[in-house]
Structure 1
Amino acid sequence: MKIKNTIVILLLTFFSPLIAASQEKGVHGQVKSSKGETIPNITVKLKGTNTLTRTDMDGKFNLNVAAAQNGILIFSGVSWTTQEVAVNGKRQINIVLQESTSELDGVVVIGYGTKLRKDLTGAVASIPPKAIKEMPVVSAEQALQGRLSGVQVIQTNSAPGGAISIRIRGGNSALGGNEPLYVIDGFPVYSNVGTNDGKTQAQNPLASINPNDIASMEVLKDASATAIYGARGANGVVIITTNRGKAGKAKLNFESNFGIQTIRHKIPMLNGKEYMYIANTRAKNLGTSLPYPDASLWTSNNDWQDLIMRDAPFNNYSLSASGGNENNQYNISGNWADQSGIVRNSGFKRGAIRINLDNKINAKLKLSTSITASKTDNQQARTSLDIYGGIVYVGLVAPPIAPIYKEDGSYYKLGNIPTADPAWDNPIALLKGYQYNVGVNRFLGNSNLTYSIIDGLSLSVRVGIDNQDVRTDRYVGRDVIGSPGSASIANSNAVSYLNENILNYATQFGDKHKFDVTTGFTFQEDIGLSVLASSQNFDTDIYGTNNLGAGSVSGSPTSGKSKNTLLSFLGRANYSYDSKYYLTVSARSDGSSRFGFGNKWGFFPSAALAWRLSAEDFLKEVSWVSDFKLRASVGKTGNQEIGNYNSLARLSSIRTIFGADQSSVIGYAMTNMPNSQLKWETTTQYDAGIELSLFNSRLSILVDYYVKHTNDLLANIPVPLSTGFGGLLVNSGSIRNKGFEFSADATVIKKDDFKWDVRANFSKNVGKVHEVALSSGQFFGGNIFSPIDASVNIIKEGYPLSSFYGYVTDGLWDANQATGSIMPNAKAGDQRYKDLNGDGRITADDRMVLGQPDPKMLYGLSSTLAYKNFEFNFLLYGAYGAKVFNANKFSIGDAFARGANQMKEVLDFWTPENLDAKYPRPSNVNPLVSDRFFEDASFLRLRNVQLNYNFPEKTFGINWLSSLSIYVSAQNLLTWTKYSGFDPEVSSTGGSDLRKGIDVGAYPAAKTFSAGLRFGL
């Protein structure tokens, strides 16, 4: 043993200088910014190898590899310009990195990973956090409007906290879902757009997220980017990443903004005298007695719009703390938002806490955790499609001569007005008597454990839960017409469980070949529970929904449960050669419980190629070309949003009278025809794109052309009445979207004291229905409620989805034409319609397509000007080519057929002395659904304007104050449009794609003025 020890000591003594020499061949140093600040988390990699390290909190690194002495080190990091340094035998290298001004060096979040923008092969658009902060909004999706080409954001309910609808490159489905998939910190979430019946809720998926918490928003548009999400990728994917902590000094940031909202546009309506004048004129035309022989008896002259609406305040507070060391980082934030609605008795409140933690357990094991807990309360005014009950509609049709109260203090009933419809409510009675509150408690959390198996190979295991408890309280008071006092409480719970297991391997062969592959298995299960209780016939309105037992008549309680499961296998491979040629191949196999037995599994592949011409020798020396890339992709994605159990036969309980004693019993009956062959709607998409960056990335241009073809559309085909069912859900039909997208980003001026940036985007989409399941080649989208009682949307082969359909007006009848005409009952001054089929009559066959609800073009322009400490930015957003069916006009623009108050312009009605009038004579002739109700909804809007002042450091001599700024801003300040309603961006039917582009008493859009304060410690 002594001999062995002696030999070991002698060997160590002999070789120790050689060992020390080899260790000294490593490289160490420090990385700083141009301001002299040390930069942590910078990757230092030995070029051509997988050997790398990262800088610590002090910006220091140490690469103990002998090969580094004669190699090249690559320094890279998010938001920093990549730099290569030849070692040339040096042992210490200290460098200064410049902040990246090019998006090419930015890291983009994609499905199950990240990529440098310059290495992308798919169509991915990004919203930087700065753009979100430029618009102080309560919900983050509003920041998407006008920012990205090919992305349409519709506030389907303009009420605070209202649901949104996003269309990426047009709609793909008629009966299925068209909303994108949202991925929030790695957790997939789908927007549940439905009815407020206690079973489904029209929820805004981003309402629980504080916009100030968002670090980036990426929109995946083509199949190369979305195929990794398979059955949920057909409508595009929105990836949201929230702020995470960074190693370094602890930071505290606070922001507060407050403001006032006002109605953007009021509809000019008749005053009391004008209303009675038209009513008397109508009576004369009909040969009946005057309803208002003595106008002095009616002294009220109410502007109901002013009475039901208000200037509404809002305030928003955010506080965040972040920091950590090299092994543990944190970001914790809290938010409180309180937004009143411009319609009285409406508003939205949110309290939210977010915790993001990143922990390096050891050299191989890392844990990332994201948790959001939020509570939202949404008080909604009644704006339902039942327009006799919608407060906005009632406020428009209510006669101005109707008083609010009777002498005894009770509400005046509009039915007492000689020309009013008895079904209309007193607007104030409805406003105060209808209470509708939706409260949502949400917990969204997931943890991702990453284990580095070997150099370049890692395994990530993510587990998460999204739990939403929703309570909906509805009370209709006894002063509301037709209500004996009715209350209901609906409780629902939606919980989603997630498990993802992702294996990633990245390697490099020599200096030119780079390869990475991602593969994995995922599981997600959604479970929904609901219960509804109701009661009516209350003796008092005091209790509201707080004592259902006070109602003498109890409704039958209902409850339900649903579940769906998605199992998936996924894979993606990326290969690049010499940073010139790129290939991406991805595929996902999804198994969904929603589909028939033979079609539960679907396979969704994609492939993409990209060529960076700027890396070729013939362009390397062209100094003004910073980057030039061509890319093309093709792939298939699916749509599983067909609802639960539609492929199965379902039973429903029914109550009936049975037996000799006529007792009430419960029975069961099938509610649908099963279809075991029900399968995915599949979208095949082709995309070709050009990415060009010029003049040291001062100008960036992006152009895309795409074609999307969706097959196996869901369709409800009629079946014989003898079956006992109204229809059968099948896969039949197809839709095609094709379009062009353009965006440009320019730094016009870049000086120390003055900077000017401009961003512009433009997109055009043409969508057409190619095939429907019916032999007629068309079907209608469903009726709108009284007084229209007709369908205005048609799904017709060769035309855009849900096109508008109706009659064509042909001026007004004059005295000579009316007698013996194709409308034999018409009189001079009545509306005339065209006989399109030439059969001498006006029938349903004389209708035609009159336009489309979706815009043909979308565009946006934003700009930021910074001079010293001042910063000014604005956003213009517009749409062209869409129409809106102004259903309000059926009552307020019908020349008094129903006794409703009218728009001021109706005073231009036909008389023998006014033959060129715009409106028909006042009469009792109900109008047809015609082109005069389909209005041009094109618009250009000054969506946001903001002026910000950043105080210089140490302005107030406070060392611990690192930043301070104040700002003023306005949203929807100006809108240029021909639309006569409250707002051209309107959708009373929510996210429906069968009935869309309809304005039926929709919640008006608001114009907002605000001021805010930000500071950091």
Structure 2
Amino acid sequence: MKKTIPAIVLAALCFFFSNVSNAQTIQITGVITDQQGQTLSDATIQIVNQNIKTKSNKDGTFTITTTRSEGILKISYLGYKSKEVHFIGTQLKRLSILLEENKDVFKEVEINAGYYTVKEKERTGSISRITAETIEKQPVNNVLSAMAGRMAGVNIEQYSGINGGAFKVEIRGRNSLRNSSDDNGNQPLYLIDGVPYPATSLTSTNLNVEGISGVSSPLNYINPGDIESIEVLKDADATSIYGSRGANGVILIKTKRPKAGKSRLDLNYNTGISRVSSKLELLNTQQYLLMRNEAFKNDGASPVSTDYDINNVWDKDAYTDWQEQLIGGVAKSSNIQFSVNGGNELTQFSFRSNYSKFGTVTPGNFSDRKGSGSLAVHHNSIDGKLKMSFSANYLNDKNELPRQDLTQFIKLPPNAPALTDTLGNLNWALNSEGASTFSNPLAATKQPYLGKTNNFISQVSLDYEVLNGLKLIGRFGYTKIHLREQSLTPISSMAPSIFATGAHTISSSQIETWIVEPQLSFKRKIGDGDLNVLLGGTFQSDAQNAEGIFGFGYTDDLLLKSIDAAPGKYANSTSSEYKYNAIFGRVNYNYKSTYMINLTGRRDGSSRFGPGKQYANFGAIGMAWIFTNANFIRQNLPFLSFGKLRGSYGITGSDQISNYGYLQTYSATQPYQDGTGLFPTRIANPDYSWETNKKLEVAIDLGFMGDKIILNAGYYRNRSSNQLVGYTLPDIVGFSSIQYNLPATVQNSGWEFELNTTNIRKSSFSWKSAITLTIPKNRLLSYPNIEGSTYVNIFTVGESLYTPKTLNFLGVNPNSGLYFFEDLNNNNNDVEQIDRSTANKSLASHWYGGLQNSLTYRNFSLDLFFQFVNKTSRYPFAGTFSTPGTIGNQPIEVMNRWQHIGDKADIQKFSQAYTPGGADTKAFYRYYSNSFINASFIRIKNLALSWNAPSPLVKKMNVGSLRLYIQGQNLVTITKYPGDPEVDNMLSLPSLRTITAGIQIGI
């Protein structure tokens, strides 16, 4: 396969360019304006019956070429009526084209549904969309950040503010009992130009050879500037054509395509700074020492030799703000992008290149550097029957960020020693015996990490019109992501010890995917309607492997970079392969552009199931009625410019489990004496089968006042059953779990709203708004005999999967000063697992959405986006900070503690031990039912201000366009939550506040 694909690509490119017509070309120029005389940029100019298009420049001018001496130009622009202009080559002159405002704005927008496109007004499924215009206004290096809050039913949360960190993506809720971090059980399907793309991080070996890759998102390796649009498919009608792969929704990413016209060069450069968006209020030295001394007094104990913070080993008057010291820096970034686009009616091409560098807020000179390039070519035969396209995207990432998040060290005592000595060396604050008195956080910055990632995505498509309305289609795709990591642990980065030795670890992991999809498309007008039929097949293969070597025992840092010089070595490797085949079909009938019915079906085959279980059928029906086409509606409701009822029902499935789960597997032992052996690592179960997801939706789309107000509202209900999970086994079996189908059914339901308004549209000023709102509800609908399962202490039938079972917290006992909990089993013993009851709050978003305002005044434009989330989180300090009173700093809230008999307090009395009164209060504190907090927030997620140079200045500078801009991300957050409400782990880096400024020039 590796030899075949380049050969195909080379042959395709040769064929593209060999068929370019040598006929004389005619150049047509013109300018496009509206009724007020304002020029219109980015209007589409197309020559009718030819696949040749271009866009107008910032000053409204355009140039388009053709080999035909006569034809018709079609000019279209969103919000304006399309116009056709006849041209004759012998009479050409500069054209002045005036467009009239069109009140039917949104109806003609074409939506990418994956295997087909559909007009917004005629779609039967639920599809949300953002375009390059939205993405380009946000200073992000992962497109998921640009999507957050902008799509109804799509919940995106950032796990960490670290550059390259991971995201949680849920489309209409959590379907599986498995956690999102377990595997792909709740992950959507990602497709880039139709080619499957991994949803989770690359698999590492068990050697712990991972820096940021351990928590990374593969979409970090896609340049946001290369993306044309993103469509998210949500309901059964939209997703069932993808079968089992679409159970959790589908995210379609379309990269930028070439456009015909005069060759155009575009340069875009920006630079910016980032800082953490929030900090915690922790104890100062005086408060901290008060806490520690009070803890010893409460326990009737005295400090020992290792209590360095209060036994006079450390300076009791010293104070360091560890947040400022460790994560209070400024991360600098720079980004430059270059693109060229052009071509004629037969062949179009585009090339894009990007280089970016992102720093870090931690001490030291660390960076993540990326370079990318993409090439796209499109060709039409002279007779218009054959269409061919090729695209390739390559990105190289060199990540040298610290392999540890230094945020975890902000709980150091405020009087801990300085991190470096006067010479800049790591300070270990040795005691009289020569042992270190604390763990120096900067040690992680002295342990070099290098992660190199290469990401290659390519696709070739062929369309041939055999007969009028009948097309043969071929889609071919190939993806390869390769990550190589190196991690060094010098002796100089560790506390002094006679046993200290260095270590060197290297690993390599990759995912390689190819896909072939032959298709047959048929279109025919039947009666007063249009029939569209699509038949196709899918052949897909995913191969993953990872290997690593751990070298240890180095006694000299000079030898550390040589793995061969390691006195001891340990190696490990894993590999797996996944094969997927399917046939699919779609039948769509559109009667008088009023009644639409859409039938889709797919038969899937997966290598993840055993014999007799490998195939399953999925399908859906979607219907829509544009009721405003009826005369009685138009006559009686003149204010209603558009109205459509739509609904869908269908079944999708899921095979998102690990490979070979139905087989008993073995692994090799480490060499012993002169040989190696095998040991079992998985127990077989050939009887489990497909997880299924039944989806129902009803929705209404409305347009008012000539579509100046557009409202989409819908209700959905998804039921996921036959749950694929790892069923826990008793220890005596020798295996921790077995792949299994649980009889549980999980239901996700909710309401989704999208409102778009055109508030003002004048010749020199316009104002548009958009708002999304999602009100989700998750529930474990049924689980027969849950009492006899291992999930009895985790889930409750009738409650949300996000609602934990916890201890029923009764507060702080005013007599003892300790937390106390309800003894549900009345055994008068310390509380136990069986004393847990279902909490009354769900640890999830109760509703979420966003508000976008876009304003333009002459050459200025301003975009302002608010993200809002109403949610509940665990009390942020439970499970992250140690028991109040032990060594280590605490949030200021702990000062509201119990001190005397009769006190009413939120925090139990200070204790320097983990088990005051014989109870592990740290664990109980995490699980009591009152350990929840309102983590709702409103955030100015994005602000973008830009200025387009006026036409006279552009002409004087002899350029096609000039734009200056400033952009901000995560600017202001309004919340009662004590930290970052999105990154709710107090010891993870908060999201970063970013401001960039840039310039864009078109030539």
TM-score, length of structure 1 as denominator length: 0.84
What is the distance in 2 between the residues matched to 1:112 and 1:483? 59
Deviations 1:677-718 (A, max 9, x none): 222211110011111112222111000100000111112334
Say if 1:370 and 1:447, in contact at 8 Å, map to a contact too.
yes
* The one of 618, 622, 626 aligned to 1:604: 618
Deviations 1:68-122 (A, max 9, x none): xxxxx996868586669999xxxx9999655867121111111212111111010
SS at match of 1:881: strand
Instruction: Label 1:123 to 1:551 Cα distance change in 2 as closer, same or farther (>3 A).
Output: same
Alignment pair present for 1:1001 and 2:987: yes
What is the distance in 2 between the residues matched to 1:963 and 1:232? 43
* The one of 369, 385, 388 aligned to 1:349: 369
Equivalent in the alignment of 2:836: 847
Say if 1:398 and 1:426, in contact at 8 Å, map to a contact too.
no
* The one of 126, 130, 135 aligned to 1:123: 126
What is the distance in 2 between the residues matched to 1:423 and 1:293? 12
Equivalent in the alignment of 1:784: none
Equivalent in the alignment of 2:168: 165
What is the distance in 2 between the residues matched to 1:304 and 1:396? 8
SS at match of 2:217: coil
Equivalent in the alignment of 1:191: 199
Deviations 1:871-892 (A, max 9, x none): 1111111211331353x54464
Instruction: Label 1:414 to 1:393 Cα distance change in 2 as closer, same or farther (>3 A).
Output: farther
Instruction: Label 1:611 to 1:777 Cα distance change in 2 as closer, same or farther (>3 A).
Output: farther
Equivalent in the alignment of 1:135: 138
Equivalent in the alignment of 1:443: 456
Shift of 1:31: 11
Shift of 1:412: 4.2
What is the distance in 2 between the residues matched to 1:914 and 1:100? 73
Instruction: Label 1:80 to 1:643 Cα distance change in 2 as closer, same or farther (>3 A).
Output: same
* The one of 902, 909, 913 aligned to 2:897: 909
Instruction: Label 1:583 to 1:985 Cα distance change in 2 as closer, same or farther (>3 A).
Output: same
What is the distance in 1 between the residues matched to 2:831 and 2:543? 49
Say if 1:198 and 1:530, in contact at 8 Å, map to a contact too.
no
- Report matched runs for 1:215-234 at 5 Å: 215-234=228-247
What is the distance in 2 between the residues matched to 1:552 and 1:399? 40
Say if 1:270 and 1:400, in contact at 8 Å, map to a contact too.
no
Say if 2:46 and 2:73, in contact at 8 Å, map to a contact too.
no
Equivalent in the alignment of 1:749: 760
Deviations 1:808-842 (A, max 9, x none): 33332233xxxxxxxxxxx3x22233345555454
Shift of 1:198: 6.7
Say if 1:502 and 1:518, in contact at 8 Å, map to a contact too.
yes
What is the distance in 2 between the residues matched to 1:472 and 1:296? 38
Q: Which shows bigger deviation, 345-354 or 967-976? A: 345-354
Deviations 1:344-381 (A, max 9, x none): 46642211101111111342211111110110123344
Equivalent in the alignment of 1:206: 219
Equivalent in the alignment of 1:486: 503
How many residue pairs get aligned? The number is: 918
Equivalent in the alignment of 1:247: 260
Alignment pair present for 1:262 and 2:275: yes
Q: Which shows bigger deviation, 338-347 or 746-755? A: 338-347
Deviations 1:915-957 (A, max 9, x none): 3443222112343122454332221111111222222112254
Equivalent in the alignment of 1:498: 515
2:325 aligned partner, one-letter code: L
Shift of 1:293: 6.4
Equivalent in the alignment of 2:676: 666
Q: Which shows bigger deviation, 898-907 or 216-225? A: 898-907
Instruction: Label 1:129 to 1:76 Cα distance change in 2 as closer, same or farther (>3 A).
Output: same
Equivalent in the alignment of 2:956: 958
What is the distance in 2 between the residues matched to 1:368 and 1:127? 24
Shift of 1:398: 4.3
Alignment pair present for 1:939 and 2:952: no
Instruction: Label 1:180 to 1:325 Cα distance change in 2 as closer, same or farther (>3 A).
Output: same
Instruction: Label 1:206 to 1:392 Cα distance change in 2 as closer, same or farther (>3 A).
Output: same
Shift of 1:664: 6.1
Equivalent in the alignment of 2:872: 882
Shift of 1:627: 1.6
Say if 1:43 and 1:77, in contact at 8 Å, map to a contact too.
no
Alignment pair present for 1:894 and 2:883: yes
Shift of 1:594: 1.0
Say if 1:222 and 1:686, in contact at 8 Å, map to a contact too.
yes
SS at match of 2:187: coil
- Report matched runs for 1:190-589 at 5 Å: 190-193=198-201, 196-197=204-205, 203-289=216-302, 292=310, 297-309=315-327, 310-344=329-363, 347-363=367-383, 364-383=385-404, 391-405=406-420, 411-413=426-428, 425-429=439-443, 431-478=444-491, 479-480=493-494, 484-509=501-526, 512-542=528-558, 546-555=561-570, 557-589=571-603
Alignment RMSD: 3.4
Shift of 1:422: 8.6
What is the distance in 1 between the residues matched to 2:85 and 2:263? 35
Instruction: Label 1:915 to 1:349 Cα distance change in 2 as closer, same or farther (>3 A).
Output: same
Equivalent in the alignment of 2:907: 919
What is the distance in 2 between the residues matched to 1:650 and 1:763? 44
Instruction: Label 1:457 to 1:43 Cα distance change in 2 as closer, same or farther (>3 A).
Output: farther
Say if 1:75 and 1:82, in contact at 8 Å, map to a contact too.
no
* The one of 758, 762, 770 aligned to 2:781: 770
What is the distance in 1 between the residues matched to 2:890 and 2:782? 42
2:847 aligned partner, one-letter code: M
SS at match of 1:277: helix
SS at match of 2:953: coil
Shift of 1:163: 2.1
Q: Which shows bigger deviation, 31-40 or 962-971? A: 31-40
1:986 aligned partner, one-letter code: V
Shift of 1:523: 0.8
Instruction: Label 1:917 to 1:500 Cα distance change in 2 as closer, same or farther (>3 A).
Output: same
Quick one: percent identity of the two aligned structures?
27
Shift of 1:340: 1.3
What is the distance in 2 between the residues matched to 1:1014 and 1:1007? 23
Shift of 1:771: 3.7
Equivalent in the alignment of 1:787: none
Equivalent in the alignment of 1:632: 647
Say if 1:779 and 1:796, in contact at 8 Å, map to a contact too.
no
SS at match of 1:618: helix
Equivalent in the alignment of 2:751: 740
Say if 1:882 and 1:936, in contact at 8 Å, map to a contact too.
yes
Say if 1:778 and 1:796, in contact at 8 Å, map to a contact too.
no
2:185 aligned partner, one-letter code: G
Say if 2:202 and 2:510, in contact at 8 Å, map to a contact too.
no
Equivalent in the alignment of 1:821: none
Equivalent in the alignment of 1:677: 687
Equivalent in the alignment of 1:971: 969
Give the number of the structure whose alpha-carbon radius of gyration is greater.
Answer: 1
- Report matched runs for 1:831-846 at 5 Å: 831-836=819-824, 840-844=828-832, 845-846=834-835
Say if 1:40 and 1:248, in contact at 8 Å, map to a contact too.
no
- Report matched runs for 1:38-57 at 5 Å: 42=46, 44=48
What is the distance in 2 between the residues matched to 1:642 and 1:274? 50
Equivalent in the alignment of 2:982: 985
2:836 aligned partner, one-letter code: R
Gaps of at least 5 residues in structure 2 are 1-27, 55-62, 179-183, 208-212
Shift of 1:480: 3.9
SS at match of 2:956: coil
2:503 aligned partner, one-letter code: S
Q: Which shows bigger deviation, 863-872 or 701-710? A: 863-872
